[in-house]
Structure 1
Amino acid sequence: MTHNAVDEKILQQWTRRLSQALQILDLELDNHLILNVADEAAHAVSPMAAPITTFVVGYAAGLAAANSTIASQLAIARAAEIVLDVCRQPAEENPDEAGWVNTAQ
């Protein structure tokens, strides 16, 4: 997903404002990575999957950062990498109605 310098500045201002409102100190986001994850999910599943996917990535990263000594930026990058891999899998590798019952996940 591409965007221009104006869009990048708007996103940086928004994320700064949002993180301050939520009292998350010193949060540095990789907007490009997050937008890429959203774009991949939208194309792999549906446009509605984009916000859900980015939420799940953030949640997973928060859990990883809270439960270990891993830095939040690394936790986000790892969670995003996993999601991007899942988005690129063929449709037949999706979980069935019971979940990932036939896999090691």
Structure 2
Amino acid sequence: MTDQTPTPSAPGTSVLDRWVAALEAELSLPPGTVDIGAVLDLARDAAHQVARPAAPVSTYVAGYAAGLAAARGESSDAVERAAAAALAWRDAGPAGQA
């Protein structure tokens, strides 16, 4: 997590913590599967560096990639790689023209 991401005083105390725990249970994920800070950091980086609508799309794509890796029994750094890609993004415009 970066210094810019707010952290609750204790795990499970914020509405977001409880929501993510409920989603993990609903989707049959082990508790603690979701790194909330990393996902929020990715969303922030994509929204600020790329475009606001890139935030939910980027987090979905990174989660999808992480899920595919998990299905293969592999670990994944998809969220971190997506955040790095967002931070490095330089839009060349339509058809690669500036």
TM-score range, shorter chain: 0.7 to 0.9
Instruction: Please give the alpha-carbon distance, in whole angstroms, between the structure 1 residues aligned to 2:32 and 2:40.
Output: 17
Deviation at 1:27, TM superposition (A): 4.1
Decide whether the 8 Å contact of 2:62 with 2:78 is kept in 1.
yes
The percent identity for this pair of structures is: 31
User: Equivalent residue for 1:20?
Assistant: 25
SS of equivalent residue, structure 2 residue 59:
helix
Per the TM alignment, residue 53 of structure 1 is displaced from its structure 2 partner at its CA by 0.4
Structure 1 residue runs without a partner (length 5+): 99-105
Flag structure 2 segments of 5+ consecutive residues without an equivalent.
none
* Partner of residue 8, structure 2: 5
Q: Is the 8 A contact 2:24 2:33 kept in 1?
A: no
Alpha-carbon shift at residue 95 of structure 1 (Å): 9.4
Structure 2 Cα separation of the partners of residues 12 and 85 of structure 1: 25
How many residues are treated as equivalent by the alignment?
A: 91
TM-score normalised according to structure 2 size: 0.75
TM-score by length of 1: 0.70
